[in-house]
Amino acid sequence: MIFIATFILTVFVYSLVSRRLQRTIITGPILFTLAGIVLYRLPPAFSDPELKRQGFLLVAEIGLVMTLFTDAARISLKSLTSNRNLPIRLLTTGMLLTILLGAIGAMLIFPSLGWQEAGILAAILAPTDAGLGMVIVNSPYVPVRIRQALNVEAGLNDGLSVPFLMCCIALALQTSEGAGEVLSRFIGEQIGYGTLVGIAIGASGGWLLTLASRRQWMDESMQQMGLVSIPLLCVIASEATGASMFIAGYVAGFAVQLGFADAGRRSVEFTETWGQLFDFFVFFLFGLLVARSWAQFDAIHLVYAVFSLTLARMIPVALALLGSGLSRSTVLFMGWFGPRGLASIVLGLVYLERQAHLPGENTIKLALMMTVLVSIFSHGLSALPGINYYAKRITQLDPNAPEHQRDELES
């Protein structure tokens, strides 16, 4: 019970001082990661029979599926139709270049990694974390256009990174079969089935929620519970069909909007309350895993972490924003605040649970953990100072500067 008791106690303490912490550089992820690290130092804690890897993975997977679903559900489909939107630039050119540069950097820094293994590491670390960047998203000192661009990017790039990760894993696991055959079977089973499951459950679930509401079968207070059940149904259906639960949950988040227009608001209500428990649990678990692996870390893992959070993120963002007219300060600000967190942790656990036994598996694990750890603290501690610095730079811009314009996303 030590593990569960410590986690619940940390949640309670955090809830008591959460408003005060909003004005400091101490974030929720920092607090829960530290709590996990401290807990590991207590000998009885890690010997608890409750600390089963399979159970942790299940909770973490469900948490990510819920996050993918709610992220997709709160993004209007109409908002993704214009190439003039900043999020489109970040989610296409920016994300593809981030994965490519991350893989190239991994092969150079870790010569023992094959290109498939480097691709796995880069894909796991490609998504940014909206939770870690919440201070930025909620700050009135950052222009609305910039806040929304970073928020939408973080909300969608975790789902977009899943196919890249799964493809690299499938290619790395190929045996006597050709790469084309392995990849085609993977696309059909994991991505194809996952997409079909997501569309079927999301669209039908949304239609039924609307039908029940119109005919007054459903109590309004239960709409959120009904909506939250949809990604859980995707998990069950994916397990039965061999589909990717992450693809299914992500697609369902878009599909549910076809039948239930209020899905975005209801999903955000869940995310801002009970959904945070999943996030906090993952960071708490991450702290335990970091403490357990601490002796294995080397300077080379820190080198890759710095590379991944700076060059592998900032160069693609700068290239993606070429021609946007944004100032150098804005490009630098958007490039730096691409924190790695929840999605990377869970995708890393998913990869490790597949027990691929690749030669570079330990290198991937340690580089991933170091990158996320550095991100949790560096982005958390630099958020408020970064906002203050950026706000001063913004005041020097012309009122008609692109930073102050509005994308179609916001109209």
Show the domain range for 206: 2-403
Q: Is residue 189 part of a domain?
A: yes
pLDDT over 90 for what percent of the chain? 30
Q: Is residue 409 part of a domain?
A: no
CA-nearest of 153, 90, 131, 106 to 278 is 131
Mean of the per-residue pLDDT values of the chain = 82
Q: Which residue has the higher pLDDT, 6 or 267?
A: 6
Contacts of 257 (CB under 8 A, 6+ apart): 73, 76, 77, 206, 263, 264
Q: Which amino acid is at 354?
A: R
Q: Other CB atoms closer than 10 Å to residue 184's CB: what's the count?
A: 13
For 39, 40, 198, 355, the CA distances from 7, given in Å and listed in that order, are 9, 12, 32, 28
CATH code, 387? 1.20.1530.20
* Structural domains in the chain (count): 1
Region 157-182: mean pLDDT is: 71
pLDDT of residue 350: 76
Sign of the dihedral defined by the CA atoms of residues 242, 244, 248, 251, in that order: negative
CA-nearest of 408, 377, 397 to 142 is 397
Q: Is residue 217 part of a domain?
A: yes
Confidence category of residue 363, pLDDT binned at 50, 70, 90: very high
pLDDT tens digits along 173-193: 765 445 555 556 666 666 788
The answer to whether 135 and 107 have CB atoms below 8 angstroms apart is no
pLDDT of residue 295: 92
Q: Is residue 411 part of a domain?
A: no
Residues 71, 62: Cα–Cα separation, whole Å? 14
pLDDT over 70 for what percent of the chain? 83
Radius of gyration (Cα) for the chain, nearest Å?
Answer: 21
Q: Is residue 351 part of a domain?
A: yes
Taking 50 as the threshold, does the pLDDT of residue 410 lie above it?
no
pLDDT of residue 409: 43
Confidence category of residue 119, pLDDT binned at 50, 70, 90: very high
pLDDT tens digits along 308-362: 999 999 999 999 999 888 999 999 999 999 899 888 988 888 787 765 678 889 9
Taking 90 as the threshold, does the pLDDT of residue 260 lie above it?
no
Q: Which residue has the higher pLDDT, 390 or 170?
A: 390
The answer to whether 68 and 250 have CB atoms below 8 angstroms apart is yes
Taking 90 as the threshold, does the pLDDT of residue 257 lie above it?
no
- Number of residues assigned to the chain: 411
Q: Is residue 160 part of a domain?
A: yes
Q: Is residue 410 part of a domain?
A: no
Q: Is residue 265 part of a domain?
A: yes
Taking 80 as the threshold, does the pLDDT of residue 84 lie above it?
no
